[in-house]
Structure 1
């Protein structure tokens, strides 16, 4: 797990800067979406190398408890959708830039956008946020694991928007409310199924639904 924590620290601090530098160097030669595909592929490959034993054992648990894991993913999907609908009734002062940008990203690079959101991003984020953070905290305290891991992921999804538009706007942190149901459902799914791969499947389904609904609006 030490290797995982080192990777997580680099993922939050160093990798985004490297990614921005690569995009500036390539310029128009490689579209942003395709560059992001390479970025997440590299992250996923490194995680597999660093945490192979954990991921293989977790895959064995997925197969051994296939019914429990699929049920956990299905229940998590329904619960996250219902809670997300209720949270959507809360009037927020800002709109979510993520969902607003999906139609444009998909129009420019449909395949790359789908691969990032539905395949690569769920794998990387579940290994880090559920497998590493929630899984380690769960060993010491179930309440602490949910109390920290759920809001940490929700804030992670929106913190970059606080200063993304040239000025610091703390209102964008309120968008974390929209990600709390998803984060809680993913933690519960991982705990219930005892395999990180059921949470990955649930994350893929949730991102797929989000992409589809954003394109349908």
Structure 2
């Protein structure tokens, strides 16, 4: 039953989500921000540093998309936050133990599959490589983007909008589709650049998305997968930073 979940998205909110928010998130906002950055570089306001421009593009595209998501889903988000706070310690503790553990279990499974499909010594996840490059250019802004903005935005879209909408019709289908789309947005840049090996990494990001949707299914509030997502990204950033320090 869908009533195990906090909050409801009405027909108008779903329509705004699918018809307006998704195009804004996938294309319109990044295109507008990219144009603004181009003009600022052209007139000397921003320095010509490709990596920093990529950081700014990700940061402001994510922030604007998150604001749009909040405006559309405001009541839904508030209801979910209220349920999260009702059992705050339990939800945080579960997220930091069983929740993050499930992410790593699925990550191990994904890595086994990936290693069977491709030679990981010569093919890496383009999204991860780009993330590490941007992190080296601006640690502060990438932490804000990857640990705060991206987890909230992605969970509102992939679990809040897509998963909840589809789950009304079929629970298994909802898990599969939301996880697949979540995985695809993390590989499509490299894939469209012609690197077909990125398809293997669909297992990595897709199974991660599946862990998030399972957590949402278990706890009934979107802020549990958000917490797990934030923690996962924070650990990833910390590992990269420590590796760079002690390398």
TM-score above 0.5: yes
1 or 2 for the larger relative contact order (CA 8 Å, sep ≥6)? 1
Q: Which of the residues 52, 65, 68 maps onto 1:43?
A: 65
Matched, 1:4 2:51: no
Please give the alpha-carbon distance, in whole angstroms, between the structure 1 residues aligned to 2:231 and 2:45: 32
Q: Which residue of 1 aligns with 2:3?
A: none
Larger radius of gyration: 2
**Which runs of no fewer than 5 residues in structure 2 stay unpaired?**
1-13, 47-51
Q: The residue matched to 2:175 in structure 1 has which SS?
A: helix
Q: Which residue of 2 aligns with 1:59?
A: 81
Residues 213 and 98 (structure 1), Cα distance of their counterparts in 2 relative to 1, 3 Å cut: farther
Matched, 1:19 2:33: yes
Q: The residue matched to 2:151 in structure 1 has which SS?
A: helix
Cα distance, 1:116 vs structure 2? 0.4
Q: Which residue of 2 aligns with 1:188?
A: 214
Residues 104 and 170 (structure 1), Cα distance of their counterparts in 2 relative to 1, 3 Å cut: closer
Please give the alpha-carbon distance, in whole angstroms, between the structure 2 residues aligned to 1:79 and 1:178: 13
Residues 97 and 2 (structure 1), Cα distance of their counterparts in 2 relative to 1, 3 Å cut: same
TM-score (norm 2): 0.79
Number of aligned residue pairs: 214
Q: Which residue of 2 aligns with 1:29?
A: 45
Cα distance, 1:72 vs structure 2? 4.3
Cα distance, 1:58 vs structure 2? 0.8
Please give the alpha-carbon distance, in whole angstroms, between the structure 1 residues aligned to 2:72 and 2:147: 23
Q: Which residue of 2 aligns with 1:87?
A: 110
- For residues 130-188 of structure 1, give each alpha carbon's deviation from its aligned partner in whole angstroms, at most 9, with x where no partner exists: 10001111122111111211112111210111133xxx232212211111231111101
Q: Which residue of 2 aligns with 1:197?
A: 223
Residues 151 and 72 (structure 1), Cα distance of their counterparts in 2 relative to 1, 3 Å cut: farther
Contact 1:62 1:198 (C-alpha < 8 Å) held by counterparts: yes
